[in-house]
Amino acid sequence: MHQSKLFTKTRKEAPKDEVSKNAQLLIRAGFINKEMAGVYSFLPLGLKVLNNINNIIREEMNAIGGQELFLTALQDKKVWEKTNRWSDEVVDNWFKTKLKNDTELGLGFTHEEPLTNLMKDHIKSFRDLPMYPYQIQTKFRNEARAKSGIMRGREFLMKDLYSFSKDENEHNEFYEKAKQAYKNIFSRLGLGDKTFLTFASGGTFSKYSHEFQTLSEAGEDIIYICDKCSVAVNDEIIGEQNSCPECGNIELRKEKSIEVGNIFSLGTKFSDAFELNYNDEKGEEKRVIMGSYGIGPGRAMGTVVEVLSDEKGIVWPESIAPFKVHLLSLGKNEDAQKIYNQLTENGIEVLFDDRDKKAGEKFADFDLIGIPYRVVISEKSLQAGGVEFKKRNSEDSEIISVEDLVSKIKF
């Protein structure tokens, strides 16, 4: 991609009303646009990152048997009345609307009800179980506070997987697999070191649910970490669980954190409401056991910015960066286009700063946008024997020959 063709421009200032670091940097670097409080559009660079995150999540969900679908955002009131979650007293963040004939509709804030209802047509016998449908889909929530940029949107993307199992054993087995898949996801997103499996309140069915909490001053949650086990306890249950649930350690470290994902055992709460049953091997009718597994890809993206950026700008991990290489051509030279062609022919994604701008401005844009590798080609570099190569997260640079560049970046 030639930067001269990219319609987004970097800017020195973020909008005055934007208080979160993630949105400030993402807006300044041209990844997102703020439409109103808690509502952000994803621009070409931002969409590339979001899609990279979604694809990592997809790979990990598919690997544990997930089947992707895409449910509607528009929701039928009747379905939600079955669990009493249509009521504004029970759920305080609905966006509701009406058809021209006054029929009420809602914009989905989650999808347990419609999916359980849908699965009634597909689950009849033990042969139909287990089943793990998931989606990456837009949710709407009338959040009271929207000061955390893309980490708390009123319209946001969620990956939500729901498990349908024959019995508790089958459920627990999958629950453990999902835990591991979540660990894989957060380490692939570059958040592994800072993300803790956190015990949270479980509702009625199981003692705990589990959250994945990433340490950050920008977090809205508080967790207590056990340094022996590398697990944590959420602030909301620390009263009843004031020691490490794994080893009993009572010296827990208090930290602020961001909930990047969570997994829940739902038991028969939803299958009871919808009478979602199956016939077992003996022909006896049984209730399906359910679980839900959520991740916010936008929140994860915001978290990466909060946690990994520095004073100059964003630092993307290679796994989700919009491009692998930022090629900066200083002054006029034809070799830059040749290098661009050579890299792209090798399947390396390159943002080519071919604009007629001062070197300082190009360097500052590289730091702000946060692409992992910088390659500078100039009269000076050519005289020194090739191109200057530098990583975004390192101060060291080196001159390497154009021939060595491809293998250097590929491996």
State yes or no: residue 56 binds ligand ATP (CB under 6 A): no
Strands 350-353 vs 325-329: parallel, antiparallel or unpaired: parallel
> Which of residues 3, 54, 241, 262 is near ligand ATP by CB under 6 A?
262
| Per CB under 6 A, 18 contacts ligand ATP | no
The minimum distance between CB 207 and ligand ATP, in angstroms, equals: 18
**CA distances to 136, 150, 179, 266, 336 from 350, in Å:** 27, 26, 35, 45, 12
What are the b/e assignments for 167-180, b being 16+ CB within 10 Å?
A: eeeebeebbeebee
- Find the binder of ligand ATP among 294, 322, 370, 386 (CB under 6 A): 294
Minimum distance, C-beta of residue 297 to ligand ATP, in the bound complex (Å): 8
Minimum CB distance to ligand ATP, residue 290 (Å)? 14
Nearer to ligand ATP, 52 or 378 (CB): 52
SS3 179: helix
Which position among 18, 60, 113, 143 is part of the footprint of ligand ATP (CB under 6 A)? 143
Q: Which residues contact 395 (CB under 8 A, 6 or more apart)?
A: none
362 binds ligand ATP (CB under 6 A): no
Size of the site for ligand ATP (CB under 6 A): 16
Q: Pairing state of beta strands 325-329 and 373-377?
A: parallel
d(CA 39, CA 150): 8
Tokens 């991609």 correspond to 1
One of 295, 301, 320, 409 touching ligand ATP (CB under 6 A)? 295
Alpha-carbon distance of 294 to 187, in angstroms, equals 16
In the region spanning residues 57 to 116, those forming contacts with ligand ATP, defined by CB under 6 A, are 110
Among 26, 260, 290, 307, binds ligand ATP (CB under 6 A): 260
CA distances (Å), origin 179, targets 60, 63, 127, 293, 294: 11, 13, 25, 9, 11
Among residues 266 and 295, whose Cβ is nearest to ligand ATP?
Answer: 295
Q: C-beta of 187: minimal distance to ligand ATP in Å? A: 16
CA dist 39 and 28 (Å) reads 16
Q: In terms of CB distance, is 31 or 323 closer to ligand ATP?
A: 31
Q: Which is nearer to ligand ATP, 3 or 257 (CB)?
A: 257
The contacts of residue 84 (CB under 8 Å, 6+ apart) are 90
Cβ within 8 Å of residue 200, ≥6 positions away: 208, 209, 210, 211, 234, 236, 237, 262
CB 116 within 8 A of CB 271: yes
Q: Is 330 a binder of ligand ATP (CB under 6 A)? A: no
- Which DSSP state fits 321? -
Helix (H) / strand (E) element for 407: namely helix 402-410
How far is 44 from 54, CA to CA, in rounded Å? 15
Question: Which string of x and - marks every residue 149-178 that binds ligand ATP (by CB under 6 A)?
Answer: ---xx--x-x--------------------
Q: Does 141 bind ligand ATP (CB under 6 A)?
A: yes
Binding residue for ligand ATP (CB under 6 A) from 30, 190, 267, 298? Answer: 298
Q: Is 374 in the site for ligand ATP (CB under 6 A)?
A: no
* Three-state DSSP state, 51: helix
Shortest gap between Cβ of 154 and ligand ATP (angstroms)?
A: 7
Helix, strand, coil % (nearest 5) of the chain?
30, 30, 40
CB closer to ligand ATP out of 150 and 315: 150
Q: Which of 113, 255, 259, 367 binds ligand ATP (CB under 6 A)?
A: 259
Q: Residue 31 carries which side chain, given as an amino acid letter?
A: F
Taking the complex as a whole, how short is the minimal distance between the CB of residue 351 and ligand ATP, in angstroms? 27
Binding site for ligand ATP (CB under 6 A): 110, 141, 143, 152-153, 156, 158, 259-262, 294-296, 298-299
